[in-house]
Structure 1
C-alpha cells in the first residue's frame, strides 16, 4: 500500500516504547501504536513524548500507524 492511500490523522505521542514504537493518542481519543517513516529516520528527526504528530493509518489495520510528520 502506498503512503498516499493512508488516512492522515493528527495525534499526540503519549509513550515511547522499545524498538522505535510510539504510543499515539489520536484527536478522537483512540490509542494506536506507530513507528517513524523512513524519511524521518533518514534525516534523524527526533520525536519525544508530548509532540504533536500526523499519523498515516491503513484502512486494513487501524491499530497501527506510521508517523509521517512532527508538528512544531
Structure 2
C-alpha cells in the first residue's frame, strides 16, 4: 500500500506493552495498536505514555497503525 493511501489520525499514547506496541487513544474513544515507523526507530525518537502522536492507519484494518510523528510539548 502506498504512503498516500494511509489515513492520518491524531491521538494520545495511553498504554505501552512489550515488543514496542503502543495503545493510542483517539478522541472518539477508540483504541488503536501501533508501532513506531522506521525513521523514528532510526533516529531514536522516544515515545512515552501521555505523548500526542500522529498515527498512520490503513483503511482496510483501522485497528493497527504506525506512529509517524510525536508532537513537542
- TM bin (shorter chain): over 0.9
In structure 2, runs of 5+ residues without a counterpart are none
Secondary structure, counterpart of 1:59 in structure 2: coil
Q: CA RMSD in A?
A: 0.7
Deviations 1:2-54, CA, capped at 9 Å, x for gaps: 22211000000001111001000012211010000000000000000000000
Q: Which runs of 5+ in 1 are unaligned?
A: none
| Counterparts of 2:4 and 2:42, CA distance in 1 | 20
**Runs of 4+ residues deviating >3 angstroms:** none
TM-score of the pair, normalised by structure 2: 0.94
Tell me, in whole angstroms, the C-alpha distance in 1 between the residues paired with 2:52 and 2:60. Answer: 24
Number of aligned positions between the proteins = 72
The TM-score, its normalising length taken from structure 1, stands at 0.96
Name the residue aligned to 1:22: 22
1 or 2, which has the higher helix percentage? 1
